[in-house]
Amino acid sequence: MITWVGIDDTDTYDKGCTTYVMYNMLKEFLKTRGEWRIINYPRLIRLNPNIPFKTRGNAAVSVGLNVDDPREALELAEWAVDAYSHRVGKTSPGIVVSVSNNEHWIYWKALTDVIPLNTAIRWMSKLGVVYRGGRGVVGALASVMADLSLDSTLELLAYSESAPKPSIPINLVRKLSDSTSPLTFENISGDYVLIQPHGNDPVVFGIRGDSPHHIIHFASMLMNEIDAEPRWLIYLTNQATGHHLNSIVNKPYTTGYVEGSVDEVRPVEGGNIEAKVNSTLVFSYRHYGFKSIDKATYLIAYGGFKPGINSLDLYMEGGVALMIKDTVKNPRCPRCGSNLESAGRVGLLKCPKCGLITGLPRLMNYISELILEEPRGAEIRHLHKPTARIGLEGLVKVFNRPSLWII
């Protein structure tokens, strides 16, 4: 019987990682069970990026297991969470076990909205989903119900418990990135290596991509150069799919969007920019590279909504700035061909040569430029779909799961 297990909220800012709980759970499972009993890849699902109580990237994990009794899956997950979670402060681990994973509306809701714990519990009771633990059940449930039917990506996560983390040779990352992109992505941005997280978590590096063969090649070449025992797991993810933009609700702590004339732009602390668009304050961080806003007359911006002083403020994640540079000239006199001049009254022009007074409109020369803004590599949000991925949607499904998906 295929049973879906979801896990979330097992780590703190400075310790642990929910993906590592899953890694250890699957390694334990494989000690006594065949690999075929694990359905496809485990899933690493990013949820609402604007949730106030996330630790880092609001990730939750899930997997489909072929077991004789769903209780086996629950016991295994309980063991893994007990053994590998770090219950400090606000950490509130949750486990979900379900025989169905088709309630995709829960996933879409969790990506774009805030789900109170008691609401999630009510849904689970109705759907016959078994749950254990605290607030983590919200993310765990959403991960189980993830809809990856149209688009998904892969991430290979390599682990080590040794501290400090082994250092990653930047030149090799650059070389491997060049030779495997666009089937791997977000590896390096300028001189900044993106594949290694800097916290105290056990992740040595993560390689994202659309082809399992390219990410395994990348990882094995790296492993060969660094001082770490090779241990890794490939996840199926919703990263880089832009799924969080599928539904925009314009409420606090959700993804929202604003469109309109830029009324006012002023630099604020740290060189960041604050723009007023249709009475909404839009904050654009200097390091995102959204500098063109100050020249834009019309802005379409999306990002996270947070409560502001009088209304909601938008923390910009991306958008389109419509820049209009205008040059304005007076037309020629229709009677004698001289250049007309202002007649001193609004809307009227006068010919300095023949004295004609006319209401001809002035000649406006608009140069409009659409600029697609993308954050700098180091600032990219997990769900942000890079332009390099356009056209690769659904590619992951073409490849079978390779034998080296877990080592």
Q: Which positions lie near ligand ATP, rule CB under 6 A? A: 8-9, 11, 17-18, 47-48, 51, 53-59, 92, 94, 110, 113-115, 135-136, 138-139
Radius of gyration, CA atoms only, the chain: 27
Give the shortest CB-342-to-ligand ATP separation in angstroms.
59
Give the shortest CB-88-to-ligand ATP separation in angstroms.
11
Task: Pick the closer one to ligand ATP by CB: 140 or 188.
Answer: 140
Cα–chain-centroid distance for residue 243? Answer: 8
Give the shortest CB-164-to-ligand ATP separation in angstroms.
19
Who contacts 312 (Cβ-Cβ below 8 Å, separation ≥6)? 250, 251, 252, 256, 280, 305, 306
**Chain position carrying tokens 């590279």:** 289
Q: Are 380 and 138 in contact (CB under 8 A)?
A: no
Give the shortest CB-143-to-ligand ATP separation in angstroms.
9
Bridge partners of 147, per DSSP, are none
Task: Pick the closer one to ligand ATP by CB: 180 or 303.
Answer: 303
Task: Pick the closer one to ligand ATP by CB: 13 or 298.
Answer: 13
Give the shortest CB-147-to-ligand ATP separation in angstroms.
15
Give the shortest CB-309-to-ligand ATP separation in angstroms.
25
In this chain, which residue has its C-beta nearest to ligand ATP? 139
Cα–chain-centroid distance for residue 163? Answer: 28
Task: Pick the closer one to ligand ATP by CB: 50 or 180.
Answer: 50
Task: Pick the closer one to ligand ATP by CB: 44 or 349.
Answer: 44
Task: Pick the closer one to ligand ATP by CB: 277 or 383.
Answer: 383
- Provide the sign of the torsion angle of the four alpha carbons 179, 206, 57, 288, taken in this order: negative
Task: Pick the closer one to ligand ATP by CB: 58 or 153.
Answer: 58
Give the shortest CB-92-to-ligand ATP separation in angstroms.
6
